[in-house]
Amino acid sequence: MTQEKNIKFGVIGAGKIGTFHTRTLAKMKGVTLVGVCDPDSMRAQKLAWEHNCTPYTKPEELVGQVDAVIVAAPTQLHHKIGMYCLEHNVHTLVEKPIAVTMEEARDLIQAAKRHEVVLQVGHVERFNPAVVEATKYIKDPRFITINRQGPYDGRMANISVVLDLMIHDLDLIYTLVPSEVVHVEAVGLSVFSPHEDIANVRLHFANGAVADITASRASFERARYMHLFQPDGYVSVDFMNARVKTYRKEKSVVTNMNDLTVSYPKIEKQLPITAEILHFIDCIKTAKTPAPSGEKGSKALELALEILEKMNRFDVPKTGHLHTPKPLQTLNTVARAAQAVLDETIGHLKGDAK
């Protein structure tokens, strides 16, 4: 029996995410990690030498030697690098978001089709074992709340928190609600960067479902969780600790909490990034459509861009003053809630400075 050849991989981008991908690929069976590419030669060399592969500074030097690549470069380079890889018949996993604009996203999708190669978008949260398990219990959710928050990371200051963090949840929403978004309410605030660092969005779906999503990179504590309410109970998901809790009605009329069955489904532990790359490899070998494909990944981008457009109607310029900007005073209660988070953050900063 002929032994299957290893898939030759390359990683483009030697930053934080590129490091995770490189480290994971270096340990995988059936994979030959050829090299790491980054315009910073010292960074490329360090990461490549740590994982026994070759450093490159230009994608053109790497692409001709591999079967597949993972593009973990800055978002504004996804289109240029992704197109080069696809047009050279290389299977490509592009980190989220797929591109900066819908036009760029469509270019990548069409290139993958023309060259009959796999294009997968790196929405790693889909492969979180808690999400995988929770989907077994999610049926017809009517109201969803998602909160994703963490400390500020200056590396992502060039894009909004909507494209940085919230886009994970926008992608998940499309897998959980079998309906289209018909109305969007959104508000965002700039705290540390020129773009939104706190955002709150309410999505209304054609089937009547509603999702309330909050993302913040101006928080001192890290938290990532989701609650889904449905006719027979609700499901709670802790993304960070990979935990799921379900509440299910045992009677048509609930008189107290004893009429609910609470369960803690067993989670099969696996690093999401490992599961994501294994899925990519399986799609390469079997010609399956990846999850998410370029088309599915672009839906999250399209919704994110619509949200940003809504927010720009209430664009609040950054100032060095700690007073409430006047345009914010006229916004709705969602905006006031976001301002409360901002005030708490500033309070922490002032306290630490003393």
Rounded average pLDDT over 261-288: 94
Whole-number pLDDT of residue 344: 54
Pick the range with the lowest mean pLDDT from 186-190, 224-228, 285-289, 346-350.
Answer: 346-350
Distances (CA, A) of 231 to 30, 140, 211, 320: 45, 8, 15, 48
Contacts of 258 (CB under 8 A, 6+ apart): none
pLDDT in tens, 236-260: 999 999 999 999 988 777 777 777 8
3-state helix, strand, coil in the chain (%, to 5): 40, 25, 35
Kindly give the pairing relationship between strand 31-37 and strand 7-12: parallel
Neighbours of 81 (CB within 10 A): 21
Look at residues 351, 348, 350, 352 and name the one whose alpha carbon lies nearest to residue 219.
348
Mean of pLDDT over the chain: 88
CATH number corresponding to 127-269+303-353: 3.30.360.10
This prediction's pTM: 0.83
Whole-number pLDDT of residue 121: 96
For residue 156, the SS3 value is helix
pLDDT in tens, 124-165: 999 999 999 999 999 999 999 999 999 998 877 888 999 999
Residue 347 pLDDT level (bands cut at 50, 70, 90): low
- Whole-number percent of the chain with pLDDT over 90: 74
In the predicted structure, residue 97 carries a pLDDT above the cut 80: yes
Whole-number pLDDT of residue 331: 36
Look at residues 57, 59, 55 and name the one whose alpha carbon lies nearest to residue 78.
59
Whole-number pLDDT of residue 101: 94
Whole-number pLDDT of residue 343: 57
pLDDT in tens, 283-307: 999 999 998 888 888 999 999 999 9
Is it true that 7-117 and 127-269+303-353 share their CATH fold? no
Give the Cα separation of 93 and 277 in Å (integer). Answer: 9
**Domain boundaries 7-117, CATH class:** alpha beta
pLDDT in tens, 327-337: 333 334 444 44
In the predicted structure, residue 207 carries a pLDDT above the cut 80: yes
| Amino acid letter, 66 | V
Structural domain boundaries of the chain? 7-117, 127-269+303-353
Q: What are phi and psi of 242, to 5 degrees?
A: 50, 60
Whole-number pLDDT of residue 251: 77
Whole-number pLDDT of residue 183: 97
Instruction: Output the CA angle 277-283-285, nearest 5 degrees.
Output: 105
